[in-house]
Amino acid sequence: MDGNSNLNHDEIDLINLFKSLVESWKLILSITCFFTILGVLYVKSTPLTYQAVARLQVETQHQHLDFHVNDISNLFISQSTANTEIEIIKSRMVLGRTVDNLNLTLYSSPIFTPIIGKKIAYFLGDVPEIKVSLLITPENNKSSGNRGGNYIVKISDAKKGLYDFFNKNNELIFSGKVGKLVNKNGYQLLILQLDGKAGQKFIIKELNRYNTVSSLRSRLSITESGKDTGILQLSLIGNNPLRMENILNDIANNELAQNVDHNALEAAKSLAFIENQLPEVKQELDIAENKLNAFKVSSDSVDIDYQAKSTLNVLASVESKLIDLGFKESEISKLYTKEHPAYVSLLQQQRALLKRKAELENEVSAMPKTNQKIITLNRDVMAAQHIYISLINKVQQLRISQASTVGSVRLIDSAETSPAPIKPKKALIVVLATLFGGMLSIAIVLLKKTFMRGIDDPRQISSLGLPLYATVPYSVNQSKLLKKNKSSSEFNEEVMLLACLYPDDLAIEAIKSLRTSLYFSISTAKNKIIMISGSSPDLGKSFLSKNLAIVFSQAKKKVLFIDTDMRKGKSTKVFNLKSKNGLSEYLSYQTNLDEIVQESNIDNLDVISCGCIPPNPSELLMGNRLSELMEWANENYDIVIVDTPSLLAVTDAALVGKYVGANFLVGRFKKTSIHEIEVAKERFHHAGVEITGFILNSVEKKISNTYGYYNYSYVDK
């Protein structure tokens, strides 16, 4: 192999791979179209999936305490967050109500033929439908979780809407009609819709509530739109748009209802507690007033002086404020710790008021005892009055708050289904299927090219140091003759003789070109004997040798064809000869030379057949008689063509090769590997037989070939 053969190997390989793709356009197109059709069939047979969407707003209320306005309504508004509401919506408290409200535990579906039935129904657009409103069976026991078994509904008359109802044992329970409630033998069934052909079956069963809620939760998707927006998007996927909208709207309504109920619950509890305390506070007020009146009567005191009255009013005001701060402290302690600024401010106000109260009490202690007693009793009455009035005000506020509770969640958009299905993405699936088919077909072609062991480039022959004498193209006519012979009960004696039936065939033209090259080559050889050999069977070796003999005879040359394949030789049938005397009989001394040479039905062509199959072909070829035969043939014929068996199977070709002037090795396009040629070359070398040249047979015209059909006599010496 010379240095030029190493040039641009990578570039040549890429070019050849591209040419191989162009050559295999039919395979690539067929595989691509196949996957395109599969993609179309898939999208046509897959049920459409839609998505219903609803939106909720979660309002976060910031609680605050106004120490100057006695308003406690804000204390009973829940502090909702988006994440909290998402988990609440997914709870059984909300989803369970939807399952119960819409009776989602009642499952009904058409029964299809296994595996392909559902696909075919959707592909044809003929999907049976059933809508069951009520199913009550004797087995129903919701408390125990036993929902009964499976039941079958079979359409008996599609036009009249009649059906038969069967149990799981396929026993008829009753017959009914669409739209009418059937109540019989403990069963109640109401079917609102039943579409399908007569004989179509449907399955009906009660699902476990827990599993139904879990299934609904898995199909429900809740996300917050943006960050900290409080806008929740609820989406539900399914095949029935109207049913999904109903489910999603029911979920949203259940969430709104539970949110309002929760916000009003604490206010209701506080209202009930305060209303229970009012009688006790009123009783304490009455007692304080009675004590004050009794003291005034007993002491003949009607009123107190101006200074005592002023001190009493200030002291009552301070105590009222302390009572209010006491209420505030009990409320704020539910929200904050004592370190919170609001709590610290409240404690500071308490300390200031307590200090002022102590100062006023010192002033009172300096007054006459009568005034002290009156002031004390008045303080008790005023304190009780203030507490009672405060509670009355709180009751009114709580009642207003309870009546006006709207909740922290509101519905922005009710459920609505997009008219376009979210899946399957028809165009995308078809495009992806087409791309996959194209890539797969290209991969197959490239892998086939990469791992192909056969020769498809003449430079591979040249790299082994073998001259390429001819490239014989693949013959369509020869292929037709072989198929005709296989389909025929009798062997056609002319089936292999392409040169006689189609003399203008491209393969015959290539053999004629080879004849010219061989004619000049044997002029310098030791004799006129040409051996056609091959490394393995089915390379076209016998086809080439027989047709080469015919084209030599057509050139007015006296030709002898010798079939040395004493195992599988077919020359007797091909040339329509007698089968009793042949090469095996001559080599085994059973007959003479003049008895084995037979004239064929072709002018100038004599044939020595292989004869009967002997037990020891190789031993016969090693005898002296083969040498005598070859010498006689060389002296009496212009050209001698010797057909041999495969070299890698038996050693016959190496034994015959010692007596020939030219030895040509045959290889088949894309079948014979470089390794086989190397082994054959090595075996011939060990036997002392040189290979004159190489013939590449059955070459297919490809873009990737670096040679054409008409370059018949390419020889690299």
pLDDT value of position 649 = 75
Query: Which one-letter DSSP state was computed for residue 576?
Result: T
Per-residue confidence band for 67, with pLDDT thresholds at 50, 70 and 90: very low
Backbone angles phi, psi at 415, to 5 degrees: -65, 135
Sequence-separated (6 or more) residues with CB below 8 Å from residue 226: none
Per-residue confidence band for 34, with pLDDT thresholds at 50, 70 and 90: very high
Determine the 3-state secondary structure of 342 from DSSP: helix
Asked whether residue 72 carries a pLDDT value surpassing 70, the answer given is no
pLDDT value of position 163 = 94
Per-residue confidence band for 464, with pLDDT thresholds at 50, 70 and 90: confident
pLDDT value of position 491 = 47
* 251 vs 232: CA distance, rounded Å: 13
Structure tokens at 121: 């129904």
Query: For residues 539 and 587, is the Cβ–Cβ distance under 8 A?
Result: no
pLDDT value of position 299 = 67
Q: How many residues does this entry show for the chain? A: 717
Asked whether residue 217 carries a pLDDT value surpassing 90, the answer given is yes
Asked whether residue 407 carries a pLDDT value surpassing 70, the answer given is no
pLDDT value of position 310 = 72
Structure tokens at 91: 């709870």
Query: For residues 49 and 426, is the Cβ–Cβ distance under 8 A?
Result: no
pLDDT in tens, 298-343: 766 555 656 566 766 777 777 777 777 777 777 777 677 777 888 7
Asked whether residue 707 carries a pLDDT value surpassing 60, the answer given is no
Asked whether residue 404 carries a pLDDT value surpassing 90, the answer given is no
pLDDT in tens, 613-652: 888 888 888 888 889 999 999 999 999 999 988 888 788 8
**pLDDT mean over 345-355:** 81
pTM: 0.56
Asked whether residue 715 carries a pLDDT value surpassing 60, the answer given is no
pLDDT value of position 266 = 64
Top-confidence residue, 247 or 408? 247
Query: Which one-letter DSSP state was computed for residue 192?
Result: E
* 668 vs 469: CA distance, rounded Å: 14
Share of the chain above pLDDT 90, in %: 24
pLDDT value of position 716 = 34
**pLDDT mean over 163-168:** 90
pLDDT value of position 308 = 64
**pLDDT mean over 469-479:** 86
Per-residue confidence band for 494, with pLDDT thresholds at 50, 70 and 90: very low
Asked whether residue 214 carries a pLDDT value surpassing 90, the answer given is yes
Asked whether residue 403 carries a pLDDT value surpassing 70, the answer given is no
Top-confidence residue, 271 or 305? 271
For residue 634, give Cα distances in angstroms to 522, 534, 542, 638, 714. Answer: 12, 23, 21, 7, 28
Structure tokens at 433: 């299927």
